[in-house]
Amino acid sequence: MAVDARIRELGNRHSHLEEKIEQELRHPAHDPLRISDLKKRKLKLKEEMQHLRQG
């Protein structure tokens, strides 16, 4: 059960990062380096969730 809770937590953080990326992209003077950093963090979360699901 703890693994499921961790996956949910990571999923929530993943969704939050997606929202931040979308918000950043809406700004006319968005920072490409910040967007790149957010996308890398999002990918790491996705990879960790996949790893936990595989057991």
**CB count in 10 Å sphere of residue 39:** 13
- How confident is the model over 27-43, as pLDDT tens digits? 999 999 999 999 999 99
pLDDT at 1 over 70: no
Q: What share of the chain is helix, strand, coil (3-state, %, to 5)?
A: 85, 0, 15
Contact (CB, 8 A) for 14 and 52 = no
Contact (CB, 8 A) for 17 and 42 = yes
Domain ranges of the chain: 2-54
DSSP state, residue 27: S
- How confident is the model over 7-22, as pLDDT tens digits? 999 999 999 999 999 9
Residue showing tokens 């703890």: 2
pTM of the model: 0.88
